[in-house]
Structure 1
Amino acid sequence: MKHLLPKLLIFMIILLTAPSAFAEQTKQNTSELAHEAKSAVLLERDSGKVMYDKNSHEKLPPASMTKVMTMLLIMEALDEGKIKMKDKVRTSEYAASMGGSQIFLEPGEEMTVEEMLKGIAIGSGNDASVAMAEHIAGSEEEFVGRMNEKAAELGLKDTSFQNTTGLPEKGHYSTAYDMAIMAKELLKYDRITKFTGTYEGYLRENTDKKFWLVNTNRLVKFYPGVDGVKTGFTNEAKYCLTASAKKGNMRVIAVVFGASTPKERNGQITKMLDYAFSQYQTYPMYKRNQIISSVKVNKGQNKKINLVTSEPISLLTKKGENVESVKKEIKQKGDIHAPVRKGTELGTLILKKDGKVLQESPLVAEKDMDQAGTWTLFKRTISDWTKWNE
């Protein structure tokens, strides 16, 4: 018994100190994920949960990562039917004059929206970005205004855009966290990864000016699952990257600002992605555009309109944890009047466990609904009156 006491004491010390030692080791490991970057963040796309943070709200020049917002507004316009992939886009003198990375558009040259998007996503074309901005909004200035409006709509308080390209300009800045949220919103549109996830391609294929595009994001080729989103570099910003990768059901967004070299930037993004996929798992709950409920619309062509999810919804946990007993709660706006436009936010889906809110996500109108005509409203009134008096 006398010999067992020292061993028992040692065992108790190990047992008591192991959890704190493990926590300290985990903290140390995560602190090394992006130690060479000015700022960084790692989050899971569907839930928006942050898994790693380093100065993620520090305002810094985003360089060409600015084009994440440019592409977001292009994809929104496509989704709303305001433009189509096959529409022709004419290049102005101003768009063709852009310096920096470009696809060498000439004044008056026309490309389709699809080709322009290819030039932005793969080749980081400043000229293509301005041409698309003018096509959608009439001028780059107007488009930049819409970029800032969208940033405000997303609740991004540390972002200010002065151009569509990321070329250095006073008052043009963002943060790692804000950039991740922009990427989160962009990735709602599945079609975008067709462009951001392509390593190489061509423009002007059937001409003598065939132009080879190589993705500035080399991880698209060298890290399994990476399919976006945008690199950035200026002398002021250094090497930046907003990356997205998907494995199984889990999509991760990793952002790095201010790395000294492309190798450092890619290495730190790789560490963050490895950490996310090794330590966490997701439980998909709903797909985008899935019908969740319906809500009454006053004086609409139909009495009710379906509410659908505005984004994919998943729950994030550490590996080994489960999401049993998750409850769904729906909050709907009241007193809704026609007309209603597709995508208008009309409610909120809330997921809870043991009374704790795990996630909230907007519910939006499934489609447009115009006002009902006078005859329709009259028949509806008669029908309601008849039912009331039965």
Structure 2
Amino acid sequence: MRRLVLLTSIIFSVLILPLTVFGEENEEDKVDEELNMAPDTQSAILIERDTGKLLFDKNAHEKLPPASMTKVMTLLLIMEALDEGKIDKDETIRISERAASMGGSQIFLEAGEEMTVHDLLKGVAIASGNDASVALAERIAGSEKAFVEQMNEKAKTLELENTQFQNATGLPADNHYSTAHDMAIMAKALLKYQSVTDYTSIYEDYLRKGEENEFWLVNTNKLVKFYPGVDGLKTGYTNEAKYCLTATAENDNMRVIAVVMGADTTKERNANISSMLDYAFNHFETKNLYEKGETITALELLKAEDESIDVVTSESVSTIHRKGEEDKDVSVSVNMKSDLSLPIQQGDQVGELVIKNKDGKPLSKTSLIVENDAQKASYLTLFKRTMRHMVN
């Protein structure tokens, strides 16, 4: 395909903004490794969602069984499928014998039963239903095996070097592992889909309401009810993995992600997560620069049906600082791809927004995407456009 002519500049003008951010690492900025907020776990991590800033970690790259925290990746692929229109929340899925036969946590689906994607999603997000997870996996990929291949491919895309999945549920399996760090990155990606917390924040609900086989859903993540601001994401437990939790909470427009793996009890798991959340909200705050979907620039495409197409942020963009820290300068630059070809699909990445500190060190990078499709212009459109330019 021919190279597109971009009338927008390849490098967006640099804006110097008086913002409070982390600068070049110094003694005040470094993660306090002496803090022991997760003494009862094998590994743990705490990050801020928008920037990915590491606030605390303990053995964060140690490979461990993630148990049902596996469903963070399962949910990510489900939300992607919804966003891309591959499935619809109102669609009804017929449950296979294999999905209905899943052990462990379940919503007790029966083979041949029909249930909407919306209700199955509640079954995964609230009750950690293995049967609901497999039913959705089969619908999206054709089989759980094919879905797992997509999970592992997504892990590679996210550059997760210490994660390998063997199933969509987290049931014990050889060579099924992840790390606290990788779980946090998966959660960060999942939270791009803000509607996921509409499900993970529900403490209790019902399936088959009013029917003979009505099922009461109770969230396995009790912090949704008992810690203000917690609205997700996923618990996990097996004998091998012990008690695990990938949690997220928002307070004063700052969202953080905390992960613990290998706690001996639910009480210890929840206490360690709560301690990390307390630390984040007591010591840090963020400043929002751009909302998700905010227009940054435009592509001027001479050979597209629509000459101009908006370029927007793929997720919200923020800076983070310690409370009471002095302001520092940051720069915002936009790097557009120089080699794009038509057609371009809605959501395709066409550039990158980079936040740097005053010394030029990148603090965060955010993909820029097109808001709408850009198709090749018809001959009639090109003719009219040429005539218009000639007249002008």
TM over 0.5: yes
Equivalent residues of 1:100, 1:126 under 8 A apart: yes
Unaligned stretches of 5+ residues in structure 2: 1-26
Q: In the TM superposition, what is the alpha-carbon distance from 1:303 to its structure 2 partner?
A: 2.3
Q: Decide which of 94, 100, 106 is 1:96's aligned counterpart.
A: 100
Moved more, 149-158 or 289-298: 289-298
Following the alignment from structure 2 to structure 1, what is the Cα–Cα distance between the partners of residues 257 and 159?
Answer: 18
Which residue identity is paired with 1:367?
N
Alignment TM-score, normalising by the size of structure 1: 0.90
Q: Post-superposition shift, 1:339?
A: 0.9
Q: Secondary structure at the match of 2:167?
A: coil
Q: CA deviation at 1:158?
A: 1.1
2:31·2:56 contact (CA, 8 Å) conserved in 1? no
Match of residue 142, structure 1, among 125, 142, 146: 146
CA distance in 2 between counterparts of 1:341 and 1:250 reads: 31
Displacement after TM superposition at 1:380 (Å): 2.9
1:310-363: CA deviations, max 9, x gaps? 111111111112555322100000132211111111100011231332211110
**Match runs of 1:183-198 below 5 Å:** 183-198=187-202
In the alignment, structure 1 residue 366 sits paired with structure 2 residue 367: no
Matching residue's letter, 2:363: L
- Paired position in structure 1 for 2:243: 239
Q: How far apart, CA to CA, are the structure 1 residues paired with 2:145 and 2:304?
A: 37
Deviations 1:114-164 (A, max 9, x none): 100000000000000000011111111111111111111111111111110
The answer to whether 1:357 aligns with 2:362 is yes
Partner-residue secondary structure (3-state), 2:272? helix
SS of residue in 1 equivalent to 2:40: coil
The structure richer in helix per residue is 1
Corresponding residue number in structure 1 for 2:384: 379
1:80-117 Cα offsets, whole Å, 9 max, x none, are 22221111111101100100000000001111111000
Q: Tell which has more relative contact order, 1 or 2 (C-alpha 8 A, sep 6+).
A: 2
1:289 to 288, 293, 311: 293
Aligned partner of 2:206 among 192, 202, 206: 202
One-letter amino acid of the counterpart of residue 153, structure 1: T
Given residue 278 of structure 1, which amino acid in structure 2 is its aligned partner?
Answer: N
C-alpha distance after superposition, 1:289-328 (max 9, x if no partner): 1111112446321223211111111111111125553221
Q: What letter is aligned with 2:174?
A: K
Q: Quick one: distance in 1 between partners of 2:301 and 2:166?
A: 40
> Aligned residue for 2:60?
56
Residue of structure 2 in register with 1:163 after alignment: 167
Look up the match of 1:311. Answer: 315
Question: TM-score scaled by structure 2?
Answer: 0.89
Matched, 1:152 2:135: no
Q: Match of 1:182, SS?
A: helix
Q: Contact (CA 8 Å) 1:295, 1:332: kept in 2 or not?
A: no
* Structure-1 residue corresponding to 2:339: 335
Does the 8 Å contact 1:343/1:367 carry over to 2? yes
Structure whose CA Rg is larger: 1
- Percentage of identical aligned residues: 56
Report SS of the residue matched to 1:162. Answer: coil
Give distance in 1, aligned partners of 2:312 and 2:238: 41
**Alignment root-mean-square deviation, CA:** 1.9
Equivalence for 1:269? 273
State the 1:215 CA deviation: 0.5
C-alpha change, 1:318 and 1:143, in structure 2 (3 Å) is same
Code of the aligned partner of 2:298: S
Equivalent residues of 1:68, 1:230 under 8 A apart: yes
